[in-house]
Structure formats: C-alpha cells, structure tokens
Amino acid sequence: MAGTDLLKGVGVFAVVVVVVLGATAATGTLLSGSSPAGDTEAPAYDTELLPTAVDDNGTVESPQSDETKTVVVDQSHGNAIGESDMEPLVDALIESGHDVRFYAGGSSSGLGSGTGGLSGGDSGLNATLRSADAFVVANPASAYTTGEINGIESFADAGGRVLLLADPVPPSSASQSLPVDIPIGTGTGTTTTPGQPTNLAATFGISFGAGYLYDMETNANNFQRIYAESAGDGDLTAGVDRLVFDDATALTTDGDATPIVESDATSSATRRDGTYPVAVRTDSVVAVGNTNFIAPDSATVADNDAFVSNMASFLVAGDKQPGVPEPTDSATGPGTGTGGFGDSTQPDTTPTLPGNGTSP
C-alpha cells in the first residue's frame, strides 16, 4: 500500500507540474500577443495635438556705452512690479556699469556702481529725476499728480528717456490708476491691483487699452500668448523677427507716436480682429502694453531677448540735460502750485480703445 500511495503521489505531482507549465506557456503566448510590433493607436498621443515648442535660447545683451547713466525705476505709486520681475533688463544695465535705482518715495535704493539714494533728502520724484538719465514706470496703482507729470514731461523734453509699461486691466474698471490693496490670507502683507499710467501716458499722446489681445489660431501655445512683429526698421526692433507677449494690451496714439511693434490679434474689449500696436515711440518716450516680456521666464523666448537688449540701450542712449526738472518756488511749474507735487488735479484721460471709433 505504501508503494501504491507513493506512485499516486508522484503521479499527482507530475500532473500539477504539467498543468503549471502549460498555463505559463499559454499566458506567455497571450501576453506576447497583446503587444504587437508597431505604433500604438492612441489619439491622445497624436503629434498634431502636441504643443509646438517656442524657441527659448535667447540672451539679453548689455548695452554699449562710454559713460555711466542712471536709470530710475518708479516704486512710489504702488507699482505692481518688483526688481525680480524685471531682472534681465536690470542685470543687463548693471553689467555694463550703469546705475539702476528703485525710487520708493523719500529715498531710492540703488543697484550697480552708485552709492546711496539720488534724492539726497528731497522726497520729491522730480528731485530724484534731476540726477537721472532715464525713468521707468510699470503698472502704477495710483495716479501721478499734475506736478509729477509736468516734471516727467520736462525730463523727457530735456533728453531723458522714459519707458512706460502696463498690462491690461478689466474693461469695467473705472479706477485704472487708483490703489486697491488686497489682504493676503490672514497675514499682514498686501498686494496691489495693477493699474496703468493713464494720465501720464496721455501727456505724450498715448493710451493703454483696457482689454487683452488674443489669437485663437496662431499663438505661442496659449490664446493670450500672442505673437508680434516689428512695425518698421529702427534701433528698438533691430534683430527682432517675432516677439511673444503674454497678456498684452493694445495702445492707441494721437498720431505723434509711431508704432514699433504690432500684432495681428483680436481685442477682448471689442471682439474685433485687427493689427494692434503693442509698442509705440514718440521722441524720448517708449510705451509697451505688456510687462511680462522683461520677466526672466519670457525675456529669452523667441526674439524677446533682442527687444529687451534694445530697450536697455534705449534707456542709456539719451543725452539728458542735467538738473531737469528744475526746482521752482513759484506757484506754477514742475514743483509746486498747480504743478506741484501734491496737486491731485488730473486731466481727462479716458483711454481710447481700438475698435470704438478710432480702431486701426
């Protein structure tokens, strides 16, 4: 009986082994049959649906200049842009030996080769500009006073370079240049709603649009990330073939300013297609309806690096008369009275948008 049981056990073991081997072979056959050679049919991986890469290998070049110039960046009007937001432009200026100073009111923090603030105890913006060669305004949250506008206009007339930058604001906003502080969480910090230098730009015959530009068909992988091209030959567009602006607004002018960059796009304010100026110039003043193009993650995209490099050169290429805007004790003029620092009277500077009667 023991021998018979042993033989039965061996027989059962042999059957189990045969079954396991057979199942393994069958499974292998099935698995090998589930992955045939060739492309996987998966519409989600259709190469036509993948985003097209935008060239991002640019380098912002430092401007060439034989003398040190001072560039003042306004921070005294709740400007919704900081040093880190414009690092490529600032770095290019500093690397070539120029001073970049951020004026916050009362004193200015300097970068580069200079020491101390420019104002020397004079808290006025106009006093700061007397020693400056260029002035940069980006996304101010509060309006410029008449006295400040008069001072900046005198500054530009004397050869000082002025760069005005602003992003779109909601079309329904009636306070494009008024401060709006928004608490962040439960902390004590605040952020400021970006505005536009509406009344200051109007002094130079320039208006920033309220809506944004978009293109649903030809864009840099986002309908609000539009392409723009040079509107003509000039120093500011040298080496510029195609630019990328993320969330840009159109500009309008009174005819004295010349478009330097344009985009074939649609305005969100009017829903109309057109060729919209995104950057314009009039004498010593340049305005751009975007701030993102000088940010670290955008300045090297497409030909943005060439445009930022040219902008840096523009800021230090002027020959500004020293001491302007001049101080005055009179009741009128750049400093006091109706043109004084504290005069809040503003001109009617309602922006004119493309498509509402003056569209291109």
**Hey, how many other C-beta atoms are within 10 angstroms of the C-beta on 186?**
5
User: Which is more confident, 343 or 244?
Assistant: 244
Q: Which residues contact 266 (CB under 8 A, 6 or more apart)?
A: 213, 214, 215, 216, 272, 273, 274
- Residue appearing with tokens 């709740």: 78
pLDDT band at 288 (very low <50, low <70, confident <90, very high): very high
Q: How far apart are CA 360 and CA 338, in angstroms?
A: 36
- Residue appearing with tokens 């602006």: 245
| Range with lowest mean pLDDT among 49-63, 127-141, 153-167, 277-291 | 49-63
Residue 271 has pLDDT above 50, yes or no: yes
Q: What is the mean pLDDT of the chain?
A: 79
- HEC secondary structure over 64-79: CCCCCCEEEEECCCCC
Cβ–Cβ under 8 Å, residues 68 and 133: no
Residue 322 has pLDDT above 60, yes or no: yes
- Of the candidates 121, 126, 104, the residue with the CA atom closest to the CA atom of residue 328: 126
Q: What is the mean pLDDT of residues 15-29?
A: 58
Q: What is the mean pLDDT of residues 18-22?
A: 61
Q: What is the mean pLDDT of residues 213-223?
A: 95
User: Which is more confident, 88 or 54?
Assistant: 88
Q: How far apart are CA 174 and CA 354, in angstroms?
A: 18
pLDDT band at 51 (very low <50, low <70, confident <90, very high): confident
- Residue appearing with tokens 């001491």: 323
User: Which is more confident, 342 or 308?
Assistant: 308
- Residue appearing with tokens 């499974």: 27
Q: How far apart are CA 71 and CA 100, in angstroms?
A: 5
The string of DSSP letters for 107-139 reads SEEEESS--S-SSTT---HHHHHTT-SEEEEES
Give the percent of the chain with pLDDT over 70: 65
Cα angle 329-334-336, degrees, rounded to a multiple of 5:
45
What is the reported pLDDT for 107? 54
Burial class (CB in 10 A: 0-12, 13-18, 19+), 13: exposed
**Hey, how many other C-beta atoms are within 10 angstroms of the C-beta on 17?**
10
Q: What is the pLDDT of residues 114-155, one digit of tens each?
A: 433 444 334 589 999 999 999 999 999 999 999 999 999 999
User: Which is more confident, 186 or 210?
Assistant: 210
Q: What is the pLDDT of residues 151-187, one digit of tens each?
A: 999 999 999 999 999 999 865 554 444 444 443 344 4
| Range with lowest mean pLDDT among 151-165, 206-220, 316-330 | 316-330
Residue 68 has pLDDT above 80, yes or no: yes
Residue 327 has pLDDT above 90, yes or no: no
- Of the candidates 283, 278, 326, the residue with the CA atom closest to the CA atom of residue 304: 278
Cβ–Cβ under 8 Å, residues 209 and 161: no
pLDDT band at 56 (very low <50, low <70, confident <90, very high): confident
- Of the candidates 87, 85, 83, 103, the residue with the CA atom closest to the CA atom of residue 95: 87
Alpha helices in the chain, H assignment, sequence order: 2-34, 87-95, 125-129, 146-157, 198-203, 304-316
Cα Rg of the chain (Å, integer): 31
Q: How far apart are CA 143 and CA 77, in angstroms?
A: 7
Q: How far apart are CA 62 and CA 64, in angstroms?
A: 7
Helix, strand, coil fractions of the chain, as percent rounded to 5: 25, 20, 55
Give the percent of the chain with pLDDT over 90: 59
Cβ–Cβ under 8 Å, residues 236 and 293: no
Q: What is the mean pLDDT of residues 293-320?
A: 97
What is the reported pLDDT for 328? 66
